[in-house]
Amino acid sequence: MSAPLIEQLDAPETWRDVAKKALHNRSFLTGLIITTIILALAIISFFWTPWSITDLDISLKLKKPSLEHWFGTDHFGRDIFSMIMVGARNSIAVALVAVGIGVLFGVPIGCWAAAKGGYADEVLMRTNDVIFAFPALLSAVMITAIFGPGAINAILAIGIFNIPVFARISRGAALSIWPREFIMAAEVAGKGKIRITVEHILPNIINLLLVQGTIQFSLGILAEAGLSYVGLGTQPPMSSWGRMLNEAQTMMSFAPHMAIFPGLAIVVTVLGLNLLGDGLRDVLDPRLRRER
Protein backbone atom coordinates (compact mmCIF):
# COMPACT_ATOMS: atom_id res chain seq x y z
CA MET A 1 0.00 0.00 0.00
CA SER A 2 2.63 2.56 -0.92
CA ALA A 3 1.79 4.55 -4.01
CA PRO A 4 -1.99 4.06 -4.11
CA LEU A 5 -2.37 5.55 -0.65
CA ILE A 6 -2.59 9.12 -1.86
CA GLU A 7 -4.97 8.08 -4.60
CA GLN A 8 -7.19 6.50 -2.02
CA LEU A 9 -7.19 9.49 0.30
CA ASP A 10 -8.13 11.92 -2.36
CA ALA A 11 -10.62 9.67 -4.00
CA PRO A 12 -13.93 11.49 -3.61
CA GLU A 13 -16.25 9.82 -1.19
CA THR A 14 -19.70 9.29 -2.55
CA TRP A 15 -22.71 10.47 -0.57
CA ARG A 16 -23.56 6.86 -0.06
CA ASP A 17 -20.26 6.25 1.75
CA VAL A 18 -20.84 9.24 3.95
CA ALA A 19 -24.38 8.23 4.77
CA LYS A 20 -23.28 4.74 5.63
CA LYS A 21 -20.61 6.00 7.94
CA ALA A 22 -23.08 8.44 9.50
CA LEU A 23 -25.59 5.73 10.29
CA HIS A 24 -22.96 3.85 12.21
CA ASN A 25 -21.86 6.88 14.20
CA ARG A 26 -23.72 6.88 17.49
CA SER A 27 -23.10 10.45 18.52
CA PHE A 28 -24.12 11.70 15.09
CA LEU A 29 -27.36 9.73 15.25
CA THR A 30 -28.23 10.83 18.78
CA GLY A 31 -27.43 14.43 17.93
CA LEU A 32 -29.44 14.24 14.75
CA ILE A 33 -32.49 12.83 16.52
CA ILE A 34 -32.42 15.44 19.28
CA THR A 35 -31.86 18.27 16.83
CA THR A 36 -34.63 17.03 14.57
CA ILE A 37 -37.09 16.86 17.45
CA ILE A 38 -36.25 20.40 18.60
CA LEU A 39 -36.41 21.63 15.03
CA ALA A 40 -39.75 19.91 14.52
CA LEU A 41 -41.13 21.49 17.71
CA ALA A 42 -39.96 24.87 16.50
CA ILE A 43 -41.56 24.44 13.09
CA ILE A 44 -44.82 23.11 14.51
CA SER A 45 -44.98 26.12 16.83
CA PHE A 46 -45.54 28.33 13.81
CA PHE A 47 -48.87 26.64 13.16
CA TRP A 48 -49.91 25.17 16.46
CA THR A 49 -49.08 25.21 20.13
CA PRO A 50 -51.12 23.38 22.78
CA TRP A 51 -52.01 26.74 24.34
CA SER A 52 -51.61 30.32 23.24
CA ILE A 53 -48.59 32.03 24.73
CA THR A 54 -49.90 35.53 24.14
CA ASP A 55 -53.28 35.19 25.83
CA LEU A 56 -52.58 35.34 29.52
CA ASP A 57 -55.05 33.68 31.83
CA ILE A 58 -53.84 34.63 35.27
CA SER A 59 -56.29 32.28 36.96
CA LEU A 60 -54.29 29.33 35.60
CA LYS A 61 -51.02 30.52 37.08
CA LEU A 62 -48.33 28.26 38.58
CA LYS A 63 -50.08 24.98 37.84
CA LYS A 64 -47.93 21.92 38.36
CA PRO A 65 -47.27 19.67 35.37
CA SER A 66 -50.39 17.72 34.43
CA LEU A 67 -52.03 16.05 31.45
CA GLU A 68 -53.54 19.36 30.49
CA HIS A 69 -50.35 21.37 30.89
CA TRP A 70 -47.51 18.92 30.32
CA PHE A 71 -44.83 21.16 31.77
CA GLY A 72 -47.15 23.16 34.04
CA THR A 73 -47.86 26.88 33.76
CA ASP A 74 -45.88 29.97 34.64
CA HIS A 75 -46.73 32.97 36.81
CA PHE A 76 -48.95 34.45 34.09
CA GLY A 77 -50.81 31.19 33.54
CA ARG A 78 -49.04 30.47 30.25
CA ASP A 79 -48.42 26.88 29.25
CA ILE A 80 -44.71 26.18 29.68
CA PHE A 81 -44.60 23.47 27.01
CA SER A 82 -46.02 25.92 24.47
CA MET A 83 -43.52 28.53 25.58
CA ILE A 84 -40.68 26.09 25.14
CA MET A 85 -41.89 25.28 21.63
CA VAL A 86 -41.96 28.95 20.70
CA GLY A 87 -38.70 29.46 22.59
CA ALA A 88 -37.12 26.78 20.41
CA ARG A 89 -38.17 28.71 17.35
CA ASN A 90 -36.68 31.86 18.81
CA SER A 91 -33.41 30.22 19.84
CA ILE A 92 -32.96 28.54 16.49
CA ALA A 93 -33.78 31.68 14.56
CA VAL A 94 -31.33 33.79 16.55
CA ALA A 95 -28.54 31.20 16.39
CA LEU A 96 -29.13 30.48 12.71
CA VAL A 97 -28.94 34.12 11.66
CA ALA A 98 -25.96 34.69 13.92
CA VAL A 99 -24.11 31.76 12.36
CA GLY A 100 -25.26 33.02 8.95
CA ILE A 101 -23.64 36.38 9.65
CA GLY A 102 -20.45 34.63 10.70
CA VAL A 103 -20.36 32.50 7.54
CA LEU A 104 -21.39 35.29 5.21
CA PHE A 105 -18.60 37.62 6.33
CA GLY A 106 -16.09 35.27 7.92
CA VAL A 107 -15.68 32.78 5.09
CA PRO A 108 -15.00 35.33 2.32
CA ILE A 109 -12.58 37.18 4.60
CA GLY A 110 -10.72 33.98 5.46
CA CYS A 111 -10.63 32.72 1.87
CA TRP A 112 -9.50 36.08 0.58
CA ALA A 113 -6.74 36.27 3.16
CA ALA A 114 -5.59 32.78 2.22
CA ALA A 115 -5.68 33.54 -1.49
CA LYS A 116 -4.01 36.93 -1.24
CA GLY A 117 -1.43 36.18 1.45
CA GLY A 118 1.18 38.69 2.51
CA TYR A 119 0.25 42.08 3.84
CA ALA A 120 -3.53 41.77 3.41
CA ASP A 121 -3.51 38.41 5.14
CA GLU A 122 -1.54 39.83 8.03
CA VAL A 123 -3.80 42.84 8.53
CA LEU A 124 -7.02 40.85 8.30
CA MET A 125 -5.95 38.10 10.60
CA ARG A 126 -4.51 40.44 13.23
CA THR A 127 -7.78 42.39 13.20
CA ASN A 128 -9.42 39.05 13.67
CA ASP A 129 -7.23 38.35 16.66
CA VAL A 130 -8.25 41.65 18.20
CA ILE A 131 -11.94 40.79 17.90
CA PHE A 132 -11.15 37.35 19.26
CA ALA A 133 -9.51 38.91 22.29
CA PHE A 134 -12.82 40.40 23.43
CA PRO A 135 -14.82 38.10 25.65
CA ALA A 136 -17.68 37.42 23.25
CA LEU A 137 -20.61 37.25 25.62
CA LEU A 138 -19.51 40.29 27.63
CA SER A 139 -19.12 42.26 24.44
CA ALA A 140 -22.54 41.11 23.31
CA VAL A 141 -23.93 42.38 26.62
CA MET A 142 -22.21 45.70 25.94
CA ILE A 143 -23.58 45.95 22.41
CA THR A 144 -27.16 45.20 23.45
CA ALA A 145 -26.85 47.56 26.41
CA ILE A 146 -25.82 50.38 24.08
CA PHE A 147 -28.16 49.74 21.17
CA GLY A 148 -31.06 48.59 23.30
CA PRO A 149 -32.26 45.13 24.16
CA GLY A 150 -34.10 43.07 21.59
CA ALA A 151 -33.79 39.99 19.40
CA ILE A 152 -32.30 41.86 16.43
CA ASN A 153 -29.50 43.42 18.44
CA ALA A 154 -28.82 40.11 20.15
CA ILE A 155 -28.49 38.44 16.76
CA LEU A 156 -26.09 41.12 15.56
CA ALA A 157 -24.05 40.98 18.74
CA ILE A 158 -23.70 37.21 18.59
CA GLY A 159 -23.16 37.26 14.83
CA ILE A 160 -20.30 39.75 14.95
CA PHE A 161 -18.32 37.45 17.18
CA ASN A 162 -18.92 34.55 14.82
CA ILE A 163 -17.13 36.34 11.99
CA PRO A 164 -13.54 35.84 13.23
CA VAL A 165 -14.29 32.22 14.08
CA PHE A 166 -15.25 31.44 10.53
CA ALA A 167 -12.59 33.69 9.04
CA ARG A 168 -9.86 31.90 10.94
CA ILE A 169 -11.07 28.40 10.23
CA SER A 170 -11.64 28.98 6.54
CA ARG A 171 -8.27 30.68 6.15
CA GLY A 172 -6.48 27.80 7.83
CA ALA A 173 -8.29 25.22 5.78
CA ALA A 174 -7.86 27.13 2.55
CA LEU A 175 -4.14 27.58 3.17
CA SER A 176 -3.74 23.82 3.40
CA ILE A 177 -5.52 23.35 0.08
CA TRP A 178 -3.70 26.04 -1.91
CA PRO A 179 -0.36 24.18 -2.31
CA ARG A 180 -2.09 21.04 -3.60
CA GLU A 181 -1.41 19.86 -7.14
CA PHE A 182 -4.91 20.23 -8.46
CA ILE A 183 -4.92 23.89 -7.48
CA MET A 184 -1.65 24.40 -9.27
CA ALA A 185 -3.19 22.69 -12.26
CA ALA A 186 -6.10 25.08 -12.11
CA GLU A 187 -3.73 28.03 -11.87
CA VAL A 188 -1.78 26.80 -14.87
CA ALA A 189 -5.06 26.45 -16.70
CA GLY A 190 -5.46 30.17 -16.21
CA LYS A 191 -8.20 30.29 -13.60
CA GLY A 192 -8.23 33.41 -11.41
CA LYS A 193 -7.95 33.31 -7.64
CA ILE A 194 -11.61 34.03 -7.08
CA ARG A 195 -12.66 31.33 -9.47
CA ILE A 196 -10.29 28.81 -7.89
CA THR A 197 -11.59 29.69 -4.46
CA VAL A 198 -15.20 29.21 -5.49
CA GLU A 199 -14.68 26.13 -7.65
CA HIS A 200 -11.98 24.27 -5.77
CA ILE A 201 -11.24 25.66 -2.34
CA LEU A 202 -14.78 26.04 -1.01
CA PRO A 203 -15.95 22.52 -1.88
CA ASN A 204 -12.92 21.19 -0.08
CA ILE A 205 -13.40 23.13 3.12
CA ILE A 206 -17.16 22.93 3.34
CA ASN A 207 -17.12 19.91 5.68
CA LEU A 208 -15.00 21.82 8.16
CA LEU A 209 -17.33 24.78 7.97
CA LEU A 210 -20.33 22.53 8.51
CA VAL A 211 -18.81 21.07 11.66
CA GLN A 212 -17.80 24.49 12.97
CA GLY A 213 -21.23 25.83 12.05
CA THR A 214 -22.93 23.22 14.20
CA ILE A 215 -20.74 24.08 17.16
CA GLN A 216 -21.20 27.83 16.70
CA PHE A 217 -24.91 27.17 16.41
CA SER A 218 -25.03 25.60 19.85
CA LEU A 219 -22.89 28.43 21.25
CA GLY A 220 -25.31 30.88 19.66
CA ILE A 221 -28.23 29.24 21.45
CA LEU A 222 -26.34 29.51 24.73
CA ALA A 223 -25.45 33.13 24.06
CA GLU A 224 -29.05 34.03 23.26
CA ALA A 225 -30.21 32.34 26.44
CA GLY A 226 -27.56 34.23 28.39
CA LEU A 227 -28.49 37.59 26.91
CA SER A 228 -32.20 36.98 27.46
CA TYR A 229 -31.47 35.84 30.97
CA VAL A 230 -29.99 39.22 31.82
CA GLY A 231 -32.89 40.90 30.03
CA LEU A 232 -30.98 42.07 26.97
CA GLY A 233 -32.17 39.49 24.48
CA THR A 234 -35.59 38.62 23.15
CA GLN A 235 -38.40 40.72 24.58
CA PRO A 236 -41.89 39.58 25.51
CA PRO A 237 -44.38 38.52 24.27
CA MET A 238 -41.93 36.41 22.25
CA SER A 239 -40.81 33.53 24.40
CA SER A 240 -37.16 32.82 25.14
CA TRP A 241 -35.61 30.05 27.21
CA GLY A 242 -33.18 32.41 28.89
CA ARG A 243 -35.89 34.79 29.98
CA MET A 244 -38.02 31.92 31.24
CA LEU A 245 -35.13 30.95 33.49
CA ASN A 246 -34.79 34.49 34.73
CA GLU A 247 -38.50 34.72 35.53
CA ALA A 248 -38.38 31.40 37.31
CA GLN A 249 -35.57 32.48 39.59
CA THR A 250 -37.58 33.99 42.43
CA MET A 251 -40.16 31.23 42.20
CA MET A 252 -37.75 28.33 42.41
CA SER A 253 -38.85 27.33 45.88
CA PHE A 254 -42.52 26.86 45.11
CA ALA A 255 -42.62 26.40 41.33
CA PRO A 256 -39.46 24.53 40.38
CA HIS A 257 -41.04 23.34 37.13
CA MET A 258 -40.76 26.90 35.83
CA ALA A 259 -36.97 26.62 35.91
CA ILE A 260 -36.47 22.92 35.26
CA PHE A 261 -38.10 22.69 31.85
CA PRO A 262 -36.50 25.66 30.09
CA GLY A 263 -33.21 24.66 31.71
CA LEU A 264 -33.57 21.14 30.35
CA ALA A 265 -34.53 22.51 26.95
CA ILE A 266 -31.27 24.45 26.76
CA VAL A 267 -29.15 21.57 28.02
CA VAL A 268 -30.73 19.00 25.71
CA THR A 269 -30.55 21.23 22.65
CA VAL A 270 -26.95 22.23 23.20
CA LEU A 271 -26.01 18.65 23.95
CA GLY A 272 -27.79 17.46 20.81
CA LEU A 273 -26.02 20.01 18.65
CA ASN A 274 -22.63 19.23 20.12
CA LEU A 275 -23.13 15.50 19.54
CA LEU A 276 -24.21 16.27 16.03
CA GLY A 277 -21.14 18.42 15.52
CA ASP A 278 -18.85 15.75 16.90
CA GLY A 279 -20.46 13.11 14.77
CA LEU A 280 -20.28 15.28 11.68
CA ARG A 281 -16.59 15.80 12.24
CA ASP A 282 -16.02 12.08 12.51
CA VAL A 283 -17.95 11.51 9.34
CA LEU A 284 -16.73 14.40 7.23
CA ASP A 285 -13.37 15.61 8.36
CA PRO A 286 -10.69 14.39 5.93
CA ARG A 287 -7.92 14.79 8.49
CA LEU A 288 -9.65 12.41 10.85
CA ARG A 289 -10.32 10.08 7.95
CA ARG A 290 -6.63 9.81 7.39
CA GLU A 291 -5.99 8.82 10.96
CA ARG A 292 -8.44 6.02 10.99
- Where along the sequence are the contacts to another protein (CB under 8 A)? 54-56, 58-59, 61, 75-77, 137, 148-149, 222, 225-227, 229-231, 235-237, 242, 245, 249-254, 259, 263, 266-267
Distance CA 269, CA 217 (A): 10
Q: How far is the CB of 265 from another protein (least distance, A)?
A: 11
Which residue's CB is nearer to another protein, number 92 or number 266? 266
Sign of CA dihedral 13, 19, 21, 25: positive
Contacts of 140 (CB under 8 A, 6+ apart): 154, 157, 158, 161, 223, 227
State the burial class of residue 55 (Cβ atoms within 10 Å of its Cβ: 0-12, 13-18, 19+): exposed
CA dihedral defined by 118, 120, 124, 126, rounded to 10 degrees? 50
- Nearest approach in angstroms of CB 40 to another protein is 23
> Which C-beta is closer to another protein: that of 202 or that of 259?
259
CB of 69 to another protein, least distance (A): 16
Nearer to another protein, 117 or 237 (CB): 237
CB of 98 to another protein, least distance (A): 16
Cβ proximity to another protein: between 163 and 266 the closer is 266
Least separation in angstroms between CB 61 and another protein: 7
Least separation in angstroms between CB 13 and another protein: 37
Q: Which is nearer to another protein, 270 or 275 (CB)?
A: 270
Identify which of 63, 239, 265, 45 has the alpha carbon closest to the alpha carbon of residue 247. Answer: 239
How far, rounded to the nearest angstrom, does the alpha carbon of residue 136 sit from its chain's CA centroid?
15
Give exposure, 204-240, as e/b (b: 16+ Cβ within 10 Å). bbebbbebbbbbbbbbbbbbbbbbbbeebbbeeebbb
Amino acid found at 188? V
Nearer to another protein, 35 or 153 (CB): 153
